[in-house]
Structure 1
Amino acid sequence: MLVFETDRVRVRDWSEADGDRVFDIYRRWEVSRWLGAEPRVMSDRGAASKAIQRWNERSREAPYGVWAVEERATGTIAGTVLLAPLPEPSDGTAGRGEVEVGWHFHPDAWGRGLATEAARGAIEHGFTAGIGQIYAVVRPDNVASLAVCNRLGMRPIGRTRRWYGASLEAFLI
């Protein structure tokens, strides 16, 4: 199902046919090193199928989702964009229903503004659905994603260990 489109990308639910590309993205340390409290690469193609199933289940809870970012010109999956509730805080404070935008892209899609374009679309999707503010959380040494946050006009709010059990730079729009 199509979620939204921009000038260059189509953001949609994943299909099982996308599994090889999912595996190709998440088997790479240069992508996976930035993800989760304990980063690890995807180990096999079967894990990609399980991820697709999990992401599509999450996408049934509108306006949230973990979606495929498909280049309109070529039909190639460039990566993932997500709009999702942040997990319960790992710092012992109570959660306030915070929502996160995030992106994970294949290295062959880096440096072309696709992450910024897809994330901007996801933010607009969230605002249209009534979400009042959206966070991004980025590892401090992930220079590329820090730059995306800046290009999106997100306001830096400092380093936190509030989510994912890791020290992250937090941004808000």
Structure 2
Amino acid sequence: MTVLRTERLVLRDWTDAPTDLARLYDIYSRTEITRWLAASGLPLTDPAQAAERVRIWRDRHADHGGRYGTWAIEVRESGVVAGTLILKPLPGADGETPTENIEIGWHLHPDSWGHGYATEAARAVLAREFAAGAPEVYAVISPGNEPSMAVCRRLGMTHLGRRTEWYGGEELETFAVAAPS
């Protein structure tokens, strides 16, 4: 299902199509991606795990009515999936229970770095989330992940320093942006 379109991108659900599963595996089996992520079960070590990852994401967002998700960022011109855009309630200090704080995040394949895809996709999803009534959205970044912090700055997010109230108390660089007034 297509969630959103921008000038260059389509944000859509990840599917069980062989091309989606191969690309998902290619992204999430790479340590240059997964070393920054707090998700369990990463990096993927077997291509068969990609289908399980899609199922986990579908189940996680099944009750969100399409508002939140873990979406493929597809480049309109080529049809290639550049990566993933996430919008979801941040998990609390226990690492699981959702909070009222909303997180945006992105994971792009290295061949899609440096094209502005993360910023473009995130801008569109932020606009949609603010139109839905969210007062503020956070990005939480592993310390040292300078490229993701640069995306936060391009999005106009304010750096709040390192915080530990989400993802089981892991210390994360925290950025926030408030809804336009």
Interval of TM-score (by shorter of Structure 1 and Structure 2): over 0.9
> CA separation in 2, counterparts of 1:51 and 1:8?
26
Equivalent residues in 2 for 1:97-112, closer than 5 Å: 97-112=100-115
Q: 2:43 aligns with which of 38, 41, 44?
A: 41
Q: Provide the identity percentage.
A: 45
Shift of 1:53: 1.3
CA distance in 1, matches of 2:159, 2:40: 24
Matches within 5 A, 1:71-86: 71-86=75-90
CA contact (8 A) 1:89 1:163 kept: yes
**Where do residues 46-85 of structure 1 align in structure 2 (5 Å cutoff)?**
46-60=48-62, 61-62=64-65, 63-85=67-89
Give yes or no for contact 2:2–2:11 (8 Å, CA) kept in 1. yes
Q: Which amino acid aligns with 1:133?
A: E
| Aligned match of 2:131 | 128
User: What is the TM-score when the length of structure 2 is the normalising length?
Assistant: 0.88
Q: Distance in 1 between matches of 2:39 and 2:82?
A: 24
Looking at structure 2, the residues matched to 96 and 36 of structure 1 have their Cα atoms a distance apart, in angstroms, of: 16
CA RMSD of aligned residues (A): 1.9
In 2, Cα distance between equivalents of 1:57 and 1:75: 25
**Structure 1: runs of 5+ lacking an equivalent:** none
1:25 maps to: 27
For 2:106 and 2:23, locate their aligned partners in 1 and report how far apart those are by CA, in whole Å: 15
> SS of 2:57's equivalent?
helix
Q: CA deviation at 1:122?
A: 1.5
Compute the TM-score of the two structures, normalised by the length of structure 1: 0.92
Return the offset for 1:54: 1.6
**Runs ≥4 residues deviating over 6 A:** none
CA distance in 2, matches of 1:24, 1:131: 33
2:171 is matched with 167
The residue type equivalent to 1:50 in the other structure is E
Contact residue 9 and residue 70 of structure 1 kept, 8 A = yes
Query: How many angstroms apart in 2 are the aligned matches of 1:59 and 1:146?
Result: 26
The DSSP-based 3-state class of the residue aligned with 1:45 is coil
Structure 2 unaligned spans of 5+: none
Contact 2:89/2:98 (8 A) holds in 1: no
C-alpha deviation, 1:59, in angstroms? 3.5
Q: Which has the higher strand share?
A: 2
Q: Which amino acid aligns with 2:102?
A: V
CA, structure 1 residues 27+132, in 2 after alignment: closer, same or farther (shift >3 Å)?
Answer: same
Shift of 1:75: 0.3
